[in-house]
Amino acid sequence: MSLLFLYIDHSVDLMAMDIAVNAVAGALKAFFADLPDPLIPYSLHPELVEAAKIMDHIERLQVLKDIVRKFPSVNYEVFKYVITHLNRVSQQSKTTLMTADNLSICFWPTLMRPDFENKDTLSTTKLNQSVIESFIQQCHYFFYGGDIIEPSGATGTSPPHAGHMGHAGHGMVESLLALQLPPPLQPQQIQHPLPSEPLI
């Protein structure tokens, strides 16, 4: 029985099996890394980057919603499932320490599978990450007909800049290069379960 199967089978109690949370996350990331094509189709990456540059918060989300509807049906349903789960994790950030921002940094390379040897990819790293962060934060708007959640601060209303990354930006890119591979499967001393109700 694979770890990925355990991840999606709600009848399995991972806590009782003493499987580290990051082992399950690593199995999930490895699964997406082995797919012939990324979950987010390459053909839509340019549109997502352009959408991330839109200054108006509401308009940006509306355009992203139009783009996600262009996903192939299977990609859409799997993406919806993954983003819904990441949204639930972010709601437990006081316990998991994983905010939508942190989760998007960890998962955008897995979901988009960029070519980090391409300089154009490096220049849009923050934009790509912000797209996934928006999907996580606004999960109910994108997939369940919910309302847009207003950003908690003014800094959340403007898209990130693609250029002029500076030393901090280059450091971020270097740290993201390692995220192309699943994290090491190391045991955790403290693990907190997420709510057990199945995703809908």
Number of domains in the chain: 1
| 28 within domain boundaries | no
Does 85 score more than 80 pLDDT?
Answer: yes
The pLDDT assigned to 86 comes to 94
| Phi, psi (deg, nearest 5) at residue 171 | -65, -40
pLDDT band at 33 (very low <50, low <70, confident <90, very high): confident
pLDDT > 60? residue 59: yes
Q: Could you tell me if residue 30 is inside a domain? A: no
| pLDDT (tens digit per residue) in 172-199 | 333 333 333 333 333 333 344 444 555 5
- 88-147 confidence digits (pLDDT tens): 999 998 988 899 999 999 999 999 998 777 777 777 889 999 999 999 999 999 999 999
Structure tokens at 68: 């996600």
- DSSP for the chain reads --HHHHHH-TTS-TTTTT--HHHHHHHHHHHHHHSSS-SS-GGGHHHHHHHHT-SSHHHHHHHHHHHHTTS-HHHHHHHHHHHHHHHHHHHTHHHH---HHHHHHHHHHHHH---TTSHHHHHTHHHHHHHHHHHHHTHHHHHS--PPPPPSSGGGGSPPPSS--HHHHHHHHHHHHGGGSPPP----S---PPP-SPP-
- Residue 59 placed within a domain: yes
* pLDDT number for residue 197: 54
Q: How many CA atoms lie within 13 A of 172 on its CB side?
A: 20
Is the pLDDT at 20 greater than 70? The verdict is: yes
| Residue 179 covered by a domain | no
Stretch 146-161: mean pLDDT? 60
Query: Which pLDDT does position 10 carry in this prediction?
Result: 63
| For the chain, percent of residues with pLDDT exceeding 90 | 47
Query: Residue 4: its pLDDT value, please?
Result: 45
The reply to whether 24 falls in a domain is no
Residue 17 lies in a domain: no
Distances (CA, A) of 35 to 32, 41, 156: 5, 12, 33
**What confidence category does residue 151 fall into, taking pLDDT thresholds of 50, 70 and 90?**
low
Mean pLDDT of 53-59: 95
pLDDT (0 to 100) of residue 115: 79
Domain residues for 112? Answer: 41-144
Q: What is the CATH number of the domain that holds 127?
A: 1.10.555.10
Interatomic CA distance for residues 99 and 90, integer angstroms: 5
Average confidence (pLDDT) over 55-80: 96
* Residue 100 within a domain: yes
Q: Is residue 181 part of a domain?
A: no
